[in-house]
């Protein structure tokens, strides 16, 4: 059952004798200036957005409509907060639906920077900021950057709870629950989803309730509580209109059919699936139709109707070959291999398994390159935003300093005139001078504190960059582990095929053994240079210090030191290097002797000090 992220498609005032009118007028002029400046910034953002639209692969009709609306708003010069938010949100949705997530991230970061650099946000502007934090978090989650997504969700949640925006809080609770679900922390996922459910029940928000019920059903499926999951799925589908919510309605029918299949209630399963299949075939919902065919195949297989099961499995495989996402095809090829193997057709089983392996290799390489590219683009966008924020703050600080100096000079000139005219009030003038000096001292102290705060912020941003690189290195290491585990699984399946083959069938045995050798070679040619590049981004002097202190270490021993520096266990290192855990333990003992480390000293702590 798919879990849904729900995104809303979110000066000085001194009383110097009789100069009150002068300063009131100055305040009004400054307020007007700030308002005009804010409108100019909104127009600039919309113009930048227009250039993004022109470069993206959106339908021409959509491009034309969005460009006309932007031109209409910018030319009129009258931009309401709601119109600005609606326009940016609409464009962000279009970019996300077309898969250009990094462009959407750049757009949201630009708009968020505009709000964050403002000193006094109105309640409407705070709500707008929340409405942009939420899709920004969802984009990061879709890109696989769940920790960064959580950062933005928590920022949004802090504001929504503080200002009591319940609808936005419910959306954020749902999305945080979805992240915890993906991390398999079901207890936390359930806690946040139930918070969202309580708010949406209270406000009778049917659309959000649908997402909550569906997501809760997903949690209970994972816990193997099919009855509870079915209750939530039925609650969810009752909130949909069969006509206006047709896609979601039949999507939920597929989910419900899957639950009945788990309960071995085949008649109900078939009833739901046939109804859904007719709709999906009629309107060309190919990716959903694959799932329906697959469930029909599983149902017929459980009913003992092997021929029908094979027919629908072939249909699912045929549909999957029309989609750009080949992950589904790889999974179905493995199911096809299992089907042929069960029925004794080992040649076709081997061919299907080999096809799955080839597709899996191409997917792994493509996904890795895409993930690295996306991470680089997101990092560049965030870095650019941070640089712009620092520049804006520096300009604002300079302007504030200039304004203060102007006020000080005006006050000093005024005091000088009063002193000349009112010499007889010498004592009064001395008191006035003392107060002026106090004000100057306070201003200097305030300026010093702001400079100190800016320095602290720069240090925090540097720390964030280091944390980001640590996450990139961890993601790459996990990718290496998953790739080798996948290769290991295929090797095990090939070994099983070898055992099941007729001993005289030497030709097929030879083909399978060659495939095993290729897979073994693939597992041993991991891109260690790329790993070292990411590692040195986080620990730039580690290899240099290691080679200076211990020049006799081999390349494998240096690599082992790098893994230990990351705090990886022997089991995790074995998964990456495709070795036995005992071999890794032996390598660690040899390394300990070579580094001349006492048995009482912790090896990882020792390497961390290098």
Q: Is 0.75 topped by the overall pTM?
A: no
In a domain, 85, yes or no: yes
Q: Are 411 and 16 in contact (CB under 8 A)?
A: yes
Return the axis-axis angle of helices 166-182 and 186-203, rounded to nearest 10°. Answer: 160
In a domain, 118, yes or no: yes
Cα 3 from Cα 476, distance rounded (Å): 25
Length of the chain: 610
In a domain, 123, yes or no: yes
Other CB atoms within 10 A of residue 213 CB: 22
Q: Are 246 and 41 in contact (CB under 8 A)?
A: no
Cα 352 from Cα 509, distance rounded (Å): 16
Residue 545: give the domain boundaries: 539-610
The three-state (H, E, C) secondary structure of 209-230, written as one string? HHHHHHHHHHHHHHCCCHHHHH
User: Looking at the 3D structure of the chain, how many domains does it have?
Assistant: 2
Torsion of CA 519, 523, 529, 531, to 10 degrees: 130
Cα 565 from Cα 571, distance rounded (Å): 15
In a domain, 472, yes or no: no
Q: Are 319 and 290 in contact (CB under 8 A)?
A: yes
Which mean pLDDT values do the consecutive 10-residue runs of the chain (610 residues) have? 40 28 30 46 78 74 78 74 86 82 88 87 93 94 92 96 96 96 95 96 95 94 94 95 91 94 95 94 90 95 94 93 86 90 87 86 61 58 57 54 76 82 76 84 86 86 76 70 74 83 80 80 62 83 91 91 90 83 93 90 90
Buried b (16+ CB within 10 A) or exposed e, 84-101: bbebbbebbebbbeeebb
Cα 398 from Cα 480, distance rounded (Å): 49
In a domain, 147, yes or no: yes
Other CB atoms within 10 A of residue 263 CB: 12
What pLDDT does residue 525 have? 52
What pLDDT does residue 22 have? 28
In a domain, 402, yes or no: no
What pLDDT does residue 9 have? 27
Residue at a domain's end among 157, 178, 213: 157
What pLDDT does residue 41 have? 77
What residues have CB less than 8 Å from 393, skipping those under 6 apart? 117, 454
In a domain, 594, yes or no: yes
In a domain, 506, yes or no: no
3-state helix, strand, coil in the chain (%, to 5): 80, 0, 20
Residue at a domain's end among 125, 157, 189: 157
Q: How many helices (H) and strands (E) does the chain have?
A: 24, 0
Residue at a domain's end among 157, 192, 211: 157
The separation between CA 87 and the C-alpha centre of its own chain, rounded to angstroms, equals: 23
Cα 5 from Cα 141, distance rounded (Å): 9
What pLDDT does residue 32 have? 32
Other CB atoms within 10 A of residue 387 CB: 11
Cα 328 from Cα 333, distance rounded (Å): 9
CATH assignment at residue 587: 1.10.10.10
Q: Are 264 and 275 in contact (CB under 8 A)?
A: no
């Amino acid at each position: 059952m798919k879990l849904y992220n729900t995104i809303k498609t979110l000066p000085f005032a001194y009383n110097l004798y009789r100069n009150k009118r002068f300063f009131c007028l100055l305040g009004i002029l400054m307020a007007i200036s700030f308002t005009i400046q804010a409108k100019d910034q909104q127009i600039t953002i919309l113009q930048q957005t227009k250039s993004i639209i022109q470069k993206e692969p959106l339908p021409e009709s959509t491009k034309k409509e969005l460009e006309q609306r932007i031109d209409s708003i910018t030319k009129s010069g009258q931009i309401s907060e709601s119109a600005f938010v609606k326009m940016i949100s609409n464009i962000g949705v279009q970019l996300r639906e077309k898969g250009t997530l990094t462009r959407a991230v750049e757009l949201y970061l630009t708009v968020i920077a505009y709000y964050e650099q403002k000193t006094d946000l109105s309640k409407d502007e705070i709500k707008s900021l929340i409405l942009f934090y939420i899709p920004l978090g969802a984009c990061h989650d879709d890109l696989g950057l769940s920790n960064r997504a959580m950062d933005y969700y928590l920022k949004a949640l802090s504001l929504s709870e503080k200002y009591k925006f319940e609808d936005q809080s419910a959306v954020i609770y749902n999305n945080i629950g979805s992240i915890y679900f993906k991390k398999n922390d079901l207890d936390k996922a359930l806690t946040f989803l139930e918070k969202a459910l309580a708010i949406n029940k209270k406000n009778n928000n049917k659309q959000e309730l649908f997402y909550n019920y569906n997501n809760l059903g997903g949690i209970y499926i994972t816990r193997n509580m099919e009855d509870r999951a079915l209750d939530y799925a039925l609650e969810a589908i009752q909130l949909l209109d069969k006509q206006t919510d047709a896609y979601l309605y039949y999507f939920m029918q597929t989910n419900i059919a899957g639950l009945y299949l788990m309960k071995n209630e085949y008649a109900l399963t078939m009833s739901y699936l046939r109804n859904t299949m007719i709709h999906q075939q009629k309107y060309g919902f190919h990716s959903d139709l694959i799932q329906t065919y697959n469930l029909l195949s599983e149902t017929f297989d459980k009913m003992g109707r092997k021929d029908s099961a094979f027919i629908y499995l072939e249909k699912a495989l045929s549909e999957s070959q029309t989609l750009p996402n080949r992950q589904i095809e790889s999974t179905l090829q493995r199911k096809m291999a299992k089907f042929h193997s069960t029925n004794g057709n080992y040649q076709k089983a081997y061919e299907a398994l080999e096809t799955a392996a080839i597709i899996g290799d191409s997917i792994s390489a493509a996904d890795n390159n895409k993930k690295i590219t996306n991470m680089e683009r997101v990092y560049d966008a965030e870095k650019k935003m941070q640089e712009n924020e620092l520049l804006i703050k520096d300009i604002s600080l300079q302007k504030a300093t200039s304004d203060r100096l102007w006020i000080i000079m005006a006050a000093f000139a005024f005091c000088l005139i009063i002193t000349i005219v009112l010499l007889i009030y010498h004592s009064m003038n001395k008191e006035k001078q003392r107060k002026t000096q106090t004000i100057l001292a306070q201003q200097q102290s305030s300026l010093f504190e702001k400079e100190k705060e800016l320095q602290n912020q720069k240090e925090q941003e540097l720390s964030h960059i280091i944390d980001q690189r640590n996450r990139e290195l961890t993601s790459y290491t996990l990718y290496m582990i998953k790739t080798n585990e996948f290769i290991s699984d295929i090797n095990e399946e090939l070994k099983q095929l070898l055992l099941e083959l007729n001993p005289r069938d030497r030709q097929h045995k030879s083909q399978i053994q060659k495939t095993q050798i290729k897979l073994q070679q693939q597992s041993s040619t991991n891109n260690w240079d790329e790993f070292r590049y990411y590692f040195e981004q986080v620990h730039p002097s580690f290899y240099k210090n290691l080679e200076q202190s211990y020049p006799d270490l081999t390349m494998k021993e240096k690599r082992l030191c790098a893994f230990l520096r990351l705090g990886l266990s022997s089991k995790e290192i074995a998964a990456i290097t495709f070795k036995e855990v005992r071999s890794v333990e032996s390598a660690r003992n040899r390394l300990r002797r070579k580094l001349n480390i006492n048995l009482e000293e912790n090896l990882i702590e020792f390497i961390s000090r290098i």
